[in-house]
Structure 1
Amino acid sequence: MASKQRLLIDFSGDSDQAIGLLYALQSPKVQVSGIIVSDAEPDRGIQLARRLVDQVRPGEEIPVMAGTQQPLFRGEADRAADSVMTSEAVTFLTELVPDPDNPLTLVTLGRLTTVAKAIARKPEWLQVVQRIVVRGGAIRVPGDVTAIAEANLHADPEAAAFVLAAKGPLLFVPLDATESLGLTDEQAALLAKTVRGTTATGKAGTVKSVLGAMIAAVAPEQIETERLKLSIDCHSLLSRGALIADLRAKPSAGTDADVCMAIQSEAIETWVRQLTEGEDRA
């Protein structure tokens, strides 16, 4: 029997991103090895994650922990408060042990602050993970928070730039690859209700990018990738947080990284229909 894909998932704790966690927990191909909640109020996300684990994988002991509460550059009070909450997730990452027979994939559905702090503490921990799937960026399409920036990278561009500069095994899943996935706002709301347990408003664009990142992690044979030279802007008011690719015939600016450019959508769209049709009848 083929071994399951080991996933470590870092999400913000909101219901839209928790849909990705639900997808991973329901997948027979996946072993969720840990869940990190990187949010200003991690308790709500931790409770949500534990409830989903209890519902979908009852009896399994899956570590659920708080990540960073704030982006890298905040006031002194914010940094002091964050240092306590960060230690658990950062320590967990930096103490991971290599297992060549069971490779580990880290999926980041929110900002990259926790990952950046782990790299800063112990750069060699990157050798433990086979792949880091980053939900973030917009290259040839508009951004979703500014004209050219996507929300996750814009939320902490310094952390994202630091992670990119570390030259780990990154796979970016930008809006370019996920906007064509078939999902309506109504379906997104039903999915959000499924994970939250109460009426919730789901955003189709957000849910599509979350599920696209999960597909890239769980079923890499269903995506098309391109190796690009990338940079993340941390300075300009106009382009802060933008994922910039050198698309010239002979690119020279930026750091090499893999980018998901297309996703086969049939399997994920079938999963969405089955889940939302059942919820709609409930």
Structure 2
Amino acid sequence: MSDKPKLIIDCDPGQDDAINLIMALAGDEFDILGITTVAGNVGLKKVTRNARLICELTGYERAMIFAGASKPLKLPLATAEFIHGKEGLDGIEIFEPALPIVSMEASDFIVEALSAANEKSITLVVTGPMTNIARALQKVPNIVGAIKEIVLMGGAFREGGNMTPSAEFNIYVDPHAAQIVFDCAAPKIVFGLDVTYQVLTGADVIERIEAIDNPVAKAALGILKSYERTDTARFNDQVAPLHDPCTMAYLLKPEIFKLKACNIQVEVDAELTRGHTAVDFWNRTELPKNSLWAYEADRDMFFDLLIDRLKLYGS
């Protein structure tokens, strides 16, 4: 049995999810038990194909990929083709991968993996709507004991939102699932827009990636160049925030980030503020601190790590 840290990566690829997978699959530090997909950036069929495509592109052909929820727990699905493109992976050639999908549904796989695991032994890396995780916790609540931590991308505090004025996309899509996850007893490390907007690409990053001569780096370059168009108005420059890769960057090099224990609650019902994350950064409510909230990132250290991971594909 492997003594490497055990991960389940739950994602909705998505350009930044793709970069996150590329970072995760570059080395052998982790025992990746499975990659689960959820409808989010695009529909379930496309995000599942995109996960398979990235695994095939990186040569990670032993991947166990499980398709999950095609819609949120209670609400209609909202997607982000306007950011990631019609296929969810603008910037690279889309093909139908040969890598198969495992027939088991994603939340059932999560339940099975956690039920068979030792206490606090599996880390969940969650970079899309949290529907699969919530469904697993609803099915068998006591699996929470096997979760070492949930490292997730979602939410915003000082930065407002990127889907609505007050909500970040992943939380907005399925706020009910997000609240279930925030209410569970597992430790949570949360990377919201406050910190992901501190790791912006730019000409310096693009130039460094252009100098890496391997097919995976070239694919990442195409993805990032396409992705840079998405926040031009916000930052008045050709830059892209690497939201989801903050999760793997934390697992690989936690010193990149500063964290603070906070209580986080989700607005689930209000029309104007659906998906808003109430981050009690200053402990106004005195509610139990259910999460570690990332509030600062070292940009140089982050992109040094990304470059190092991309270079591994040529070694």
What TM-score bracket applies, with the shorter chain setting the length? 0.7 to 0.9
Q: Which moved more, 1:257-266 or 1:230-239?
A: 257-266
After superposition, the Cα gap between the structure-2 partners of 1:163 and 1:262, relative to the gap in structure 1 and judged at 3 Å, is: same
How far residue 30 of structure 1 moved from its aligned partner, in angstroms, is 2.7
Q: Under a length normalisation based on structure 2, what TM-score does the superposition of the two structures give? A: 0.72
After superposition, the Cα gap between the structure-2 partners of 1:64 and 1:249, relative to the gap in structure 1 and judged at 3 Å, is: closer
CA-to-partner distance for each residue in 1:65-103, whole Å, 9 max, x for gaps?
A: 10101011147xxxxxxxxx9961111111112246x93
Matches within 5 A, 1:237-276: 237-248=271-282, 250-253=284-287, 256-273=290-307
How far residue 53 of structure 1 moved from its aligned partner, in angstroms, is 2.5
Identical counterparts, % of pairs: 23
CA-to-partner distance for each residue in 1:9-39, whole Å, 9 max, x for gaps?
A: 1111323311101110013423322111102
Which residue identity does 1:61 align to in structure 2? R
Q: Which moved more, 1:245-254 or 1:256-265?
A: 245-254
Cα distance between partner residues in 1 of 2:252 and 2:242:
15
CA-to-partner distance for each residue in 1:219-277, whole Å, 9 max, x for gaps?
A: 33432211111110112222210110234455324762221222333343125457889
How far residue 168 of structure 1 moved from its aligned partner, in angstroms, is 2.1
Matches within 5 A, 1:17-36: 17-36=17-36
After superposition, the Cα gap between the structure-2 partners of 1:242 and 1:174, relative to the gap in structure 1 and judged at 3 Å, is: same
How far residue 198 of structure 1 moved from its aligned partner, in angstroms, is 8.4
Cα distance between partner residues in 2 of 1:57 and 1:192:
13
2:89 alignment partner in structure 1: none
Q: Which moved more, 1:251-260 or 1:118-127?
A: 251-260
Q: 95, 98, 107: which one pairs with 2:117?
A: 98
1:119 alignment partner in structure 2: 137
1:142 aligns with 2:160: yes
After superposition, the Cα gap between the structure-2 partners of 1:156 and 1:192, relative to the gap in structure 1 and judged at 3 Å, is: farther
Unpaired runs of at least 5, structure 1: 76-84, 278-282
Which residue identity does 1:232 align to in structure 2? V
User: Is 1:69–1:86's contact at 8 Å kept on the other side of the alignment?
Assistant: no
How many residue pairs are counted as aligned between the two chains?
Answer: 267
Unpaired runs of at least 5, structure 2: 77-101, 211-215, 232-239
Cα distance between partner residues in 2 of 1:66 and 1:108:
14
1:64 alignment partner in structure 2: 65
Partner secondary structure for residue 241 of structure 1: coil
1:210 aligns with 2:212: no
1:162 alignment partner in structure 2: 180
User: Is 2:199–2:241's contact at 8 Å kept on the other side of the alignment?
Assistant: no
How well do the aligned residues superpose, as a CA RMSD in angstroms? 3.5
1:235 alignment partner in structure 2: 269
2:128 alignment partner in structure 1: 110
User: Is 1:165–1:255's contact at 8 Å kept on the other side of the alignment?
Assistant: no
2:196 alignment partner in structure 1: 178
Q: Which moved more, 1:258-267 or 1:203-212?
A: 203-212
How far residue 193 of structure 1 moved from its aligned partner, in angstroms, is 6.8
Cα distance between partner residues in 2 of 1:268 and 1:28:
19
